[in-house]
Amino acid sequence: MRISFRNALQLLRICKLSKLLVYIFYSVVLEAAPYLISLEKGLGSLIKGFLELAKELSYLYSNKAMEPSESKASYF
């Protein structure tokens, strides 16, 4: 099976993103560990922390995607 350069780059981005998500998940689990004594409080804290980090990640990626178009728009 042949993989084009573009497909290879997409696969690398997906792998980096999945590794980053695993890292984020584990950091949230470690941060929420003291609250796991109370199940409701622990799960709520875990989910809230994961969603906050996912928002930050999507914000960073959207800003990165917007940069080239903004630089082109500034020339006009």
CA distance 2 to 8: 10
Average pLDDT over residues 40-62: 72
What pLDDT does 76 receive? 45
C-alpha span between 57 and 73 (Å, rounded): 25
pLDDT above 70 covers a percentage of the chain that reads 32
Q: How do residues 21-46 score in pLDDT, each as one tens digit?
A: 677 677 766 666 665 556 566 667 77
Per-residue burial over 38-54, b = 16 or more CB atoms within 10 Å of its CB, e = otherwise: eeeebeebbeebbeebe
Number of other residues whose CB lies within 10 A of the CB of residue 63: 10
Location of structure tokens 């993989």? 3
- Tokens representing 72 are 């082109």
Task: Inform me whether the pLDDT recorded for 73 exceeds 60.
Answer: no
Domain boundaries, the chain: 5-74
